[in-house]
Structure 1
Amino acid sequence: MNKTSLIKTPDKPTPGYPPMESTLIPPMPVTIDPAWGVPSAEQCIAWWDDYQMFENIKAHSMLVAKVAVQASTLAAEAGIDVDIPTIQASALLHDIAKSYCILHSGNHSQIGAAWAMQLTGNPAIAMGVLHHVFWPFEPEADKYFLPLVISYADKRVMHDSFTTLEKRFNDLKVRYGKTEKIKQRIHKTFEQALVLEDRLGKLIGVDLNACSLDCGRLV
């Protein structure tokens, strides 16, 4: 994986939302180096307290991880080469900077990716954190399964409940759609989420919209 993908981020994006256009160069396909450390679920959860994560964000992160693990388990059963512990760690850490940014402002995916890289030394984990809000490249599920499944899992969890993409984004529009520009960005993210659902589903061979993904267990 091209580590530079961790720092090539859009110039001055609206916090929490994607740029309308992207000129970024796509990263290399995600590969996992066995030398990279992968923290356990227990370690990731301990870091939540170190970074003073709000309780509601902890609940959200736990369910996102379960959804990501369940989708990844289905992928593994379909013969797709996935690293479930790495995906689980990235999902558990995807909102590690959310509470900090609520209090102090900032882009929680960018700050969180930096923190995840510092904590784990694992660029694949950090990549999933960085891109969980929006994937600014062609969403090729076979090449970028890890960040795409993290992004998709996040979109299927509203607060601490498993939900549909439609309900999730209707909630986002109500809570954050204060301007027409932000509404457009939310809609663009919704459109991408539908594409991710289709691409990941076709790769795995499962209709993800009709599949219950909230029953998985952490590994």
Structure 2
Amino acid sequence: MSEKDTSDIAAEQYGSPLTPPPGMVFDPTLAVPNDARCAEYWARYDMLENVAEHSTKVANIATFMAHHAKGVGLPVDVATVRASALLHDIAKTYCILHGGNHSQLGGAWAMELTNNPTIASGVTHHVYWPFELDLEKYFTPLAVIYADKRVNHTELVSIEERFKDLIKRYGIPLNLMDRIKATEEQALTLEKLLCDTLKVDLNACDFDSWRLV
């Protein structure tokens, strides 16, 4: 990790809604797990195979955007973005079996595992972002949110397709229509912001091969 990337992470995390507790020593060389370490964490928490595949696809999208963000001068550390995306569903299996909020529990686990508030914020807030849509201050969690909205189970889809499925599965029977629609509106607003800022049409990208289709 370069000296510049280390500074970027420190600046990004201390401007995040999740800041380190007083006295915490932040060591970015230890706090940003690579793909192999994230896979070890998946195994530790019994991540299901389809959830692991979903997480990998989400991470590929987030990584693609992080590279473009650095290209236009945003203070982004690609490894941090990718790790947050890989870990965003770390608590999925537990919550399927025992109930609970997988994003909130996952954020707590990610913080314990990585000691990194930026990674944890992407996990905690990957369903909905309650703060301003500011890519310079909050690129990591916003990238994870958007990437997650583009993968339905294990398939790349548009935001509209993703939310049609969510509404079909959860909206009417659980009376969550208003919440789901608000989340869709935020995702579409974020998509436009990302496309305009990164100067790329995200709906015309093959994220697995890192190029436009």
Tell me the alpha carbon deviations over residues 75-99 of structure 1, each in whole angstroms, 9 at most, x when there is no partner: 1222222100011110000000011
Alignment-derived partner of residue 141 in structure 1 = 135
Deviation of 1:62 after TM superposition, in Å, equals 0.6
TM-superposed CA distance for 1:184, in Å, is 1.1
Would the alpha carbon gap of residues 191 and 203 (structure 1) be closer, same or farther in structure 2, given more than 3 Å must change? same
Report which structure shows greater RCO (CA 8 Å, sep ≥6). Answer: 1
**CA deviation digits over 1:96-119, x for unaligned, max 9?**
001111111111010000000001
Give the unaligned 5+ runs of structure 2.
1-12, 20-25
2:155 to 148, 158, 161: 161
Q: CA RMSD in A?
A: 2.2
Partner residue of 1:51 out of 24, 45, 59? 45
Aligned partner of 1:21 in structure 2 is none
> Once the 2 structures are TM-superposed, how far is the Cα of residue 180 of structure 1 from its aligned partner?
6.9
Is the Cα contact below 8 Å between 1:63 and 1:160 reproduced in 2? yes
In the alignment, structure 1 segments of 5+ residues that lack a partner are 8-31
Q: 1:107 to 1:121 in 2, by over 3 A?
A: same
Residue 56 of structure 2 aligns to which amino acid in structure 1? M
Secondary structure at the aligned position of 2:176 is classed as helix
Q: What is aligned with 1:210?
A: 204
Structure 2: distance between partners of 1:182 and 1:64: 24
**For 2:100, what is the secondary structure of its paired residue?**
coil
**Which SS does the other structure have where 2:86 is aligned?**
helix
Aligned residue identity for 2:47: M
Q: 1:144 deviation in Å?
A: 1.0
Instruction: Classify 1:154/1:191 alpha carbon distance in 2 versus 1 (closer, same or farther; 3 Å).
Output: same
Aligned partner of 2:17 in structure 1 is 5
- Whether contact under 8 Å (1:6, 1:130) holds in the other structure is no
Give the deviation of 1:73 after TM superposition.
1.1
In the TM superposition, residue 207 of structure 1 has moved relative to its aligned partner by 2.1
Higher helix share: 2
Moved more, 204-213 or 187-196: 204-213
What corresponds to 1:83 in structure 2?
77
Give the AA of the match of 1:95.
Answer: D
Q: Equivalent residue of 1:112, what SS?
A: helix
Q: Return the match for 1:63 from 44, 57, 70.
A: 57
Q: Is the 8 A contact 2:84 2:119 kept in 1?
A: yes
Q: TM-score, normalised by structure 1?
A: 0.81
- Once the two structures are aligned, what percentage of the paired residues are identical? 51
Name the CA distance, whole Å, in 1 between partners of 2:16 and 2:207: 32
